Structure 1
Amino acid sequence: HTQVEVTVRYAHSGAQMAALAAGELDLCVVFEWQDPAGGEVLMHDPTVWVTSTLHHMHEEQPVPIALYNRAGWCKDFAIKSLEQRDLAYRVAYTSDTTGGLKLAVTSGLAIAPISRSNIPDGCRELTTADGFGAIDSSNVVMHRNPNASGEAIDGMQDAIREAFVNRLSQPAASS
C-alpha cells in the first residue's frame, strides 16, 4: 500500500500487549508461553542453548552463560535446565535484551538461551548430543487491536502471516 506510514516498535511482549490495549498499536507480534488468548499463532519456537561455532564456549568448565537480567525466568527455566543435566556453569554476562545475549555468544563470551528462530549466523543450537537440550517453548503470536480496521492493517497482517509461512517453508540452515 502506498502512502502508508509504518512504525515498528521493538519491545518485550508485555510492553507490546500494553501498547496494543492502549490503542497505540494496530498489530503486535509477541512471544507467549501460555496458551495464546485471542491471537493467531504464527509458529512454535523453543528456547535453546546457543554456542558460537568458532569459540566452542560450551566445552569450557564451568560453562560461561549469558542470561537476561529478569531473574525469575532465568532461574525457573534456563538455570534449571543446566542443573537438571548436572552442568557446572558461571554467569559471565547479563543483558536486558536478546541482542545482548546474541552479542555474548557471537563474540565468544558465553553460551545463551535464545529462541531457535533467532539463532545468529556463526552460531548453532546445543542439542542433547552436546549434553544440552531445549529450555522451554513459546508461541509466536500475532494480536490485532479490535478497534483497528482498514485495508492497510489487513494488508500488513497478511504480510506478517505470509512472512512466517515463508520462513517455515525454507529448509533449515546447516551449521
Structure 2
Amino acid sequence: MASYPSIDAELLRSFVAIADHGGFTRAAEAVNRTQSAVSMQMKRLEEDVLQRSLFERDGRQVKLTPEGQVLLGYARRILKLHGEVLTTLREPHMVGSVRIGTPDDYVMRFLPGILSRFAQSYPLVQVEVHCEPSYLLLQRRDLDLSIVTREPGTEIGQLLRRERFVWAEAPGFYTHEQRPIPLAMFNTDCFCRAWACNALDGLDIAYRVAYTSPSLSALLAVVGAGLAVSAQLQSIVPPELRLLGQAEGMPELPLASIMLLRSERNRSQASETLAEHIIEGFRL
C-alpha cells in the first residue's frame, strides 16, 4: 500500500484563511500567527506535502490555482469533520433527549436551521419534535420546551418575536374579490381565525370559512390553488403567494407574540442549550 504524508489540520486552517481573506497578511491575523509563519506553513504544504503549487499572485491579491481550488473543497470538509469530532468527544455530558413542542406553523420556516446548527454542535442529543396547536401545547406537561403563539396581553414565557398576521392569496386569482370571500383557516380554537373573522366583520365584508385544517401545509396548498384566502404570520407565508392589504380592501390584522416556554420540572443542560439555539434562530 502506498504511503502518503499526512496533512496537519493547522496547515489546512491557514490555507482556508488565505483563500477566505485573499492574502497572507489578513489570513495571519485570522489564525493568530505571523505572516512569515503562515508563509512557511504554505511552503511546507506546497513543497513537502502535496508537491503542487496552490497559489497565484496577482499584484497584492493571492488567487488559488486549479489544484488549490480542489484542495479548498477538501480542506473545508476536513476541518468541519475535525470540529465535529472534537465537539463530540469533548462534550460527553451533552447526551440525552429534548422534547420540543411547536405549532405546525414554525416547522418549515424556523426549525430546519435551528436543529441543523444544534445537531452540528451536539450530535449525541436526541430531539423529539411534537407538532400541535398552541392551545394544546399549553396543556401538556411532558415537554421540555414549547413554542406557542399568544395574543398581546396574554404572553407567558420568553418572547421570541412579535409579528403581524397578513392576508395571502395565490397571484392571478383575485380570490379576495369573491363574495363571500372563501377563507382557509386553522380550526376553531385558533385565535387568529377569530381575528380574521372579526376584522372582516368590522368592514362588513362577507366571508365563509371554506376550508379548515390543523396543518399549515394543507391550508397553504388550498390557497396556492386559488381556492381561498388565508391569514397567517407574515414570516411563514411562502414568497410565491401574494400579500393583501388595505390597497386591496382587506383589513389590517393585529400583531401576535411568539413565545418560548420552558418546563420547570424537566430542565437539563441539553434543553437549555437548545433553548438558546431557538432564541437565536427566531432572531434571523
Q: Same fold (TM over 0.5)?
A: yes
Q: What is the distance in 1 between the residues matched to 2:264 and 2:209?
A: 42
8 Å CA contact 1:85–1:131 kept in 2: the answer is no
8 Å CA contact 2:203–2:251 kept in 1: the answer is no
Q: What is the distance in 1 between the residues matched to 2:261 and 2:191?
A: 23
Partner of residue 123, structure 2: 2
Q: Is the counterpart of residue 12 in structure 1 residue 12 in structure 2?
A: no
**Following superposition, which runs of at least 4 residues in structure 1 exceed 3 angstroms of deviation?**
71-76
Q: What is the distance in 2 between the residues matched to 1:2 and 1:68?
A: 35
- More helix, by proportion: 2
8 Å CA contact 2:195–2:253 kept in 1: the answer is yes
8 Å CA contact 1:48–1:115 kept in 2: the answer is yes
Question: For 1:78-136, what per-residue CA distance to the aligned partner results, in whole angstroms no more than 9, with x for missing partners?
Answer: 22211222323333322233333212211110101212222123113211111113333
For these two proteins, the number of residue pairs brought into alignment is 162
8 Å CA contact 1:45–1:115 kept in 2: the answer is yes
Find the partner of 2:250 among 109, 132, 152: 132
Q: Is the counterpart of residue 92 in structure 1 residue 210 in structure 2?
A: yes
- More strand, by proportion: 1
8 Å CA contact 1:62–1:88 kept in 2: the answer is yes
Residue type at the aligned position of 2:236: N
Q: Is the counterpart of residue 160 in structure 1 residue 278 in structure 2?
A: yes
CA gap of 1:89–1:44, structure 2 versus 1, over 3 A, is same
Q: Is the counterpart of residue 141 in structure 1 residue 259 in structure 2?
A: yes
Q: What is the distance in 1 between the residues matched to 2:265 and 2:192?
A: 36
Find the partner of 2:144 among 26, 37, 45: 26
Following superposition, the deviation at residue 29 of structure 1 comes to 0.5
Q: What is the distance in 2 between the residues matched to 1:120 and 1:137?
A: 19
Partner of residue 198, structure 2: 80
Following superposition, the deviation at residue 71 of structure 1 comes to 6.9
Following superposition, the deviation at residue 66 of structure 1 comes to 1.9
Partner of residue 240, structure 2: 122
Residue type at the aligned position of 1:62: P
Q: What is the distance in 2 between the residues matched to 1:58 and 1:129?
A: 12
Q: What is the distance in 2 between the residues matched to 1:66 and 1:95?
A: 8
Residue type at the aligned position of 1:152: A
Q: What is the distance in 2 between the residues matched to 1:118 and 1:72?
A: 16
Q: Identity of paired residues, percent?
A: 28
| RMSD of aligned Cα (Å) | 2.2
Q: What is the distance in 2 between the residues matched to 1:141 and 1:90?
A: 30
8 Å CA contact 2:150–2:257 kept in 1: the answer is yes
Q: What is the distance in 2 between the residues matched to 1:72 and 1:10?
A: 15
TM-score, normalized by length of structure 2? 0.52
CA gap of 1:25–1:75, structure 2 versus 1, over 3 A, is closer
Q: What is the distance in 2 between the residues matched to 1:99 and 1:107?
A: 12
Question: For 1:49-80, what per-residue CA distance to the aligned partner results, in whole angstroms no more than 9, with x for missing partners?
Answer: 21112423123343222233307847742222
Find the partner of 1:68 among 186, 197, 213: 186
